Amino acid sequence: MNAIVRARDLAVDYTMPGGVVRALDGASFELLPGRSLGLVGESGSGKSTLGLAIGRLLPANVRHAAGDLEVDGRSVFALDDEGIRALRRTSLGFVFQSPMAALDPTMRIGRQITLACGGQPDVGRVPELLQQVGLPKGAARAWPHELSGGMAQRAVIAMAIARRPRLLVADEPTAALDTSLRAQILDLLVALKNETGSALVLLSHELPVVARVCEIIGVMYGGRVVELGDSAGVFSRPLHPYSRALLATAHDGARPGERLAPIPGMPPVLSGPASGCSFAPRCAFADERCRSERPPLRPIGGRLAACHHADGTAPERGSGMSSGM
Amino acid sequence: MRLLLHIAARMGMALLTMLSVSLIVFVAMRMLPGGFEMIILGPIQTEEARAVITEQFGLDRSLPEQFLSWLVAVLHGDFGISMITRIPIADEILRRLGATVQLTAMAVITALCVGLPLGVAAGLADSSTSVRTCGRLVGALGASTPDFVLGVALVYIFSVWSLGLTVGGYVPFFEDPLANLRAMILPASTLSVFGIALILRTTRESVLTVMTEGYITGAVARGDDPASIVRRHVLRNASLPVMTVATIYLSLLLGGAVIVEILFTVPGVGLYTWNALLNRDYGVTQSAVLLFSGVIVTCNMLVDIAYALVDPRIRGRRQQ
């Protein structure tokens, strides 16, 4: 089966007033149709950039530097403007952080969902979508400001799935919501994925949350995917030192008042390709090789990790992606 | 019910504004050196002759008495007669209203027709393109050139090279439409330049702001084409500040109309008011100012209503 989305050594640069910042530094992953992938990382790890890159939605000051990104077999950076618009319409659905901002304040919800359907949906399509995302039929008549944050995000999700995308990309879809609503919205996304057969890429900084709802986890650091594998495995036995550190900071299971272990040091800000492992300055296991030689993303114990020391042996060259992802 | 109360309160405020404006203008005019009797009779006259005039027109009464009697008459729909021509003021103003309305309408329509599309284009264009630079330049120049400077320049230029346009020589539109337009194009253009700049700048800023909103990113992410994104989302959301500014422009126009009507001798309400002020024809100035303030207050109320029509959030707030 062909992957619905596949990134190969993708690198993109932001042109800032102070110079160039490399946001993605050779990110690779792939996802099969109908599967769910959670991309986890700190802010600055490049996960949002990767999420936007899937729809070529990057701001104007971003340059595609190297590598490739394919959605549904088409290279998004090679498409012309109408081509990428067609791809967004037919294959992609996006859910962003802030649901209130994502709705046009001057338009009723029903009208916005109608437009998201392509303008002239079948009779009954809008009520069907509302029902799918758990909104009452009456919500079609509502204005965005009349909805709560949770309802607004449901409306946004209804718009994202309106044209039955093959891939749903959700970038921190619960960050702007009440804690009590977060699980509901994530469960809704997973339920819709299972119901419609679309694939799901969920971007989050909370490893436990992603591990609960996604089948596969990709851990991002310094603009790369540093570990990729099935959720249970990554969550229970992380291979990459950064994954382990990230898991240790997770507050799930921590008792109130207990101090969380922060990862010492700061995430890197790259201006070009990192020469070695970008986690090396913060890593307890780093040696000279880590600083001078880039660790490739290679198969270790049924998953992929980009670390020279993940298995205690020398890296195997020329590794491909493991199947099933 | 709350809505009706709100409207009633707004109208009360509007009337209060008009009353205050009338009062201020009344006091200001009476503080000007040289009253009506000085203007009519000239400086070399006896006190007795002046007393006859002031008594004849009731100018010898106390100021509060004069203001109150004027106010009562106006509330009964009687604007009095011009002390100079002895013709009812209402008739005099109505006769001149056509030219001013035409001038204002031409200026507003030109400003909107030029300013809106340029503003939208400048707002949508990338920062590097010439459209945006051009928009900035036109905006800055137009907004900072005073009417009287531009008007004088146009009078000078078109007095030398007519190019088919006339400076002065106003003819009512329905007598000779062509001659009317030839006389009105220059004054209307003078007035519209500031409006073009104002509306262009506001539209550009507003469009730029809307373009960064999440719902625009959302529409882009859904693969909508740029033209329909502009049509469906940008124009409507960007229109609110533009409407406010267009109203402010309309208010400024009435002031600008006075200057431009004087410069181009357009026989409108502005020129009439100016002459009345010079002649200390108190009733005329009072009535004209009342009319101007009435127009401004009404425009502001209309914009309020238009706001509510465009933005459901404002409707919601009102009804709560």
Tell me the pLDDT tens digit for each residue of B40-88.
777 777 778 778 777 777 777 888 888 898 899 888 888 888 888 888 8
Q: Tokens representing B89?
A: 């003021």
DSSP line for B179-245:
HHHHHHHHHHHHHHHHHHHHHHHHHHHHHHHHHTSHHHHHHHHTT--HHHHIIIIIHHHHHHHHHHH
Please tell me what DSSP assigns to residue A60. T
Placement of tokens 């992410």 in the chain: B221
Residues B114 and B18 in one domain: no
CB contact, 8 Å: B217 with chain A? yes
Min distance B199 CA to chain A CA atoms (Å): 22
Question: Among candidates A168, A94, A108, A114, which has minimal Cα distance to A138?
Answer: A108
Q: Which among A104, A143, A163 has the least Cβ separation from residue B233?
A: A104
Q: What's the rounded mean pLDDT across residues A162-171? A: 93
> How high is the pLDDT of residue B319?
43
CB contact, 8 Å: B212 with chain A? no
If phi > 0 it is left, if psi is from -120 to 50 it is alpha, else beta; for residue A118 that is: left
Taking every pair of Cα atoms in chain A, the longest distance, rounded to a whole number of angstroms, is 65
Residue B81 covered by a domain: no
Q: Which residues of B touch A104 (CB under 8 A)?
A: 215, 232-233, 237
Q: Which among A82, A92, A106 has the least Cβ separation from residue B310?
A: A106
Look at A78-92, B31-45, B53-67, B85-99 and tell me which has the smallest mean pLDDT. Answer: B31-45
Residues B184 and B279 in one domain: yes
Whole-number Å distance between alpha carbons of A28 and A67: 9
Residues B216 and B294 in one domain: yes
Question: Among candidates B268, B99, B258, which has minimal Cα distance to B173?
Answer: B99
The answer to whether residue A29 scores a pLDDT higher than 90 is: yes
Residues B255 and B196 in one domain: yes
Whole-number Å distance between alpha carbons of B310 and B238: 10
Q: Which helix (H) or strand (E) holds A200?
A: strand A199-204
Q: Tokens representing B61?
A: 């009464």
The answer to whether residue B313 scores a pLDDT higher than 90 is: no
Residue B297 covered by a domain: yes
The answer to whether residue B14 scores a pLDDT higher than 90 is: no
The CATH number linked to B138 is: 1.10.3720.10
CB contact, 8 Å: B60 with chain A? no
**Are A92 and B223 a contacting pair at CB < 8 A?**
yes
The answer to whether residue A139 scores a pLDDT higher than 60 is: yes
Complex ipTM value = 0.85
Reduced to 3 states (helix: H, G, I; strand: E, B; else coil), residue A227 is: strand
Q: Which residues of A touch B220 (CB under 8 A)?
A: 57, 88
If phi > 0 it is left, if psi is from -120 to 50 it is alpha, else beta; for residue A324 that is: left
Residue B84 covered by a domain: no
Whole-number Å distance between alpha carbons of B249 and B228: 29
Q: Which residues of B touch A90 (CB under 8 A)?
A: 223
- Report the chain B residue with the minimal C-alpha distance to residue A82: B225
> How high is the pLDDT of residue A313?
45
Residues B45 and B140 in one domain: no
Q: Which of B24, B40, B75 is the last residue of a domain?
A: B75
Question: Among candidates A174, A153, A164, A145, which has minimal Cα distance to A38?
Answer: A174
Residues B210 and B133 in one domain: yes
Which residue type, as a one-letter code, is found at position B142? G
DSSP line for B263-293:
HTT--SHHHHHHHHHHTT-HHHHHHHHHHHH
Min distance B182 CA to chain A CA atoms (Å): 43
Q: Tokens representing B121?
A: 């284009």
> How high is the pLDDT of residue A191?
92
DSSP line for A270-324:
BSS--SS-TTGGG-TT--HHHHHSPPP-EEETTEEE--TTSSSSPPPTT--PPTT
Confidence of residue B163 (pLDDT cuts 50, 70, 90): low
More confident residue, A252 or A280: A280
> How high is the pLDDT of residue A123?
80
> How high is the pLDDT of residue A208?
86
Rg (CA), chain B: 24
**Percent above pLDDT 90 for chain A:** 53
Taking every pair of Cα atoms in chain B, the longest distance, rounded to a whole number of angstroms, is 86
Look at A35-44, A169-178, B139-148 and tell me which has the smallest mean pLDDT. Answer: B139-148
Beta bridge partners of A170: A95, A202
- Report the chain A residue with the minimal C-alpha distance to residue B127: A60
Min distance B216 CA to chain A CA atoms (Å): 8
Confidence of residue A6 (pLDDT cuts 50, 70, 90): very high
- Report the chain B residue with the minimal C-alpha distance to residue A93: B222
Q: Are A100 and A177 in contact (CB under 8 A)?
A: no
pLDDT in tens, B211-240: 989 999 999 999 999 999 999 999 989 988
Placement of tokens 């109150």 in the chain: B68
Q: Which residues of B touch A102 (CB under 8 A)?
A: 214-215, 217-218
Residues B206 and B297 in one domain: yes
> How high is the pLDDT of residue A252?
54
Residue B41 covered by a domain: yes
* Chain B interface mutation, best of A91, A106, A109, A157, highest count of B Cβ atoms under 10 Å: A106
Q: Which residues of B touch A103 (CB under 8 A)?
A: 214-215, 218
* Chain A interface mutation, best of B215, B225, B319, highest count of A Cβ atoms under 10 Å: B215
More confident residue, B159 or B289: B289
Which residues, 6 or more positions from A120, have their beta carbon under 8 angstroms from its beta carbon? Answer: A114
* Helix, strand, coil percentages in chain A from 3-state DSSP, rounded to 5: 30, 25, 45
Residues B107 and B67 in one domain: no
Whole-number Å distance between alpha carbons of B17 and B12: 9
Residues B191 and B303 in one domain: yes
Q: Tokens representing A291?
A: 């600083």
Which residues, 6 or more positions from B18, have their beta carbon under 8 angstroms from its beta carbon? Answer: B290, B293, B294, B297
CB contact, 8 Å: B316 with chain A? yes
> How high is the pLDDT of residue A323?
38
Q: Which of B13, B41, B75 is the last residue of a domain?
A: B75
Q: How many CB atoms lie within 10 A of CB B186?
A: 23
Reduced to 3 states (helix: H, G, I; strand: E, B; else coil), residue A57 is: coil
Which residues, 6 or more positions from A217, have their beta carbon under 8 angstroms from its beta carbon? Answer: A37, A38, A40, A207, A210, A211, A227, A228, A229, A230, A231, A234, A235
Residue B82 covered by a domain: no
| Average pLDDT taken over every residue of chain A | 87
**Are B237 and A115 a contacting pair at CB < 8 A?**
no
Q: How many CB atoms lie within 10 A of CB A96?
A: 26
> How high is the pLDDT of residue B35?
78
Look at A4-8, A39-43, B105-109, B248-252 and tell me which has the smallest mean pLDDT. Answer: B248-252
Q: Which among B126, B223, B310 has the least Cβ separation from residue A88?
A: B223
> How high is the pLDDT of residue B264?
84
**Percent above pLDDT 90 for chain B:** 14
Confidence of residue A113 (pLDDT cuts 50, 70, 90): very high
Residue B23 covered by a domain: yes
| Average pLDDT taken over every residue of chain B | 82
Look at A61-65, A69-73, B42-46, B109-113 and tell me which has the smallest mean pLDDT. Answer: B42-46
Whole-number Å distance between alpha carbons of B265 and B96: 12
**Are A87 and B223 a contacting pair at CB < 8 A?**
yes
The answer to whether residue A322 scores a pLDDT higher than 70 is: no
Q: pTM for this structure?
A: 0.78
The answer to whether residue B34 scores a pLDDT higher than 80 is: no
The answer to whether residue B152 scores a pLDDT higher than 80 is: no
What range does the domain containing B28 cover? 2-75
Confidence of residue A325 (pLDDT cuts 50, 70, 90): very low
Residues B112 and B207 in one domain: yes
Residues B302 and B238 in one domain: yes
**Are B311 and A105 a contacting pair at CB < 8 A?**
yes
Whole-number Å distance between alpha carbons of B189 and B195: 10
Placement of tokens 């944050």 in the chain: A149
Residues B174 and B235 in one domain: yes
Q: CA dihedral in degrees (B41, B43, B46, B52; nearest 10)?
A: 30
Placement of tokens 């490893």 in the chain: A207
Min distance A221 CA to chain B CA atoms (Å): 25
Please work out, in degrees rounded to the nearest 5, the angle formed at the alpha carbon of residue B77 by the alpha carbons of B71 and B79. Answer: 65
> How high is the pLDDT of residue A227?
93
Q: Which residues of B touch A145 (CB under 8 A)?
A: 312-313, 316
Confidence of residue A86 (pLDDT cuts 50, 70, 90): very high
Look at A149-163, A243-257, A289-303, B295-309 and tell me which has the smallest mean pLDDT. Answer: A243-257
Residue B111 covered by a domain: yes
Q: Which among A84, A87, A101 has the least Cβ separation from residue B214?
A: A101
Distances A270 to A44, A297, B177, B306 between C-alpha atoms, Å: 10, 19, 70, 50
Residues on chain A bordering chain B, Cβ-to-Cβ distance under 8 angstroms: 55, 57, 60, 82, 84-90, 92-94, 96, 98, 100-107, 115-116, 143, 145-146, 156, 159-160, 162-163
Long-range pairs for A237-241: beta carbons < 8 A, 24 or more residues apart: A239/A300, A239/A301, A239/A303, A239/A305, A239/A307, A239/A310, A239/A311, A240/A279, A240/A305, A240/A306, A240/A307, A240/A310, A241/A279, A241/A283, A241/A284, A241/A285, A241/A307, A241/A309
Q: Tokens representing A237?
A: 């036995």
Min distance B246 CA to chain A CA atoms (Å): 20
Which residue type, as a one-letter code, is found at position B47? E
The answer to whether residue A316 scores a pLDDT higher than 50 is: no
Q: Which among B220, B237, B312 has the least Cβ separation from residue A143?
A: B312
Q: Which of B41, B75, B109 is the last residue of a domain?
A: B75
Confidence of residue B320 (pLDDT cuts 50, 70, 90): very low
Q: Which residues of A touch B242 (CB under 8 A)?
A: none
Beta bridge partners of A63: A13
**Residue A300: HSE in the Cβ half-sphere, 13 Å Cα cutoff:** 27
> How high is the pLDDT of residue A317?
36
What chain A holds in terms of domains, given with CATH numbers, is: 5-252+260-271 (3.40.50.300)
Look at A58-72, A221-235, A239-253 and tell me which has the smallest mean pLDDT. Answer: A239-253
Q: How many structural domains does chain B have?
A: 2
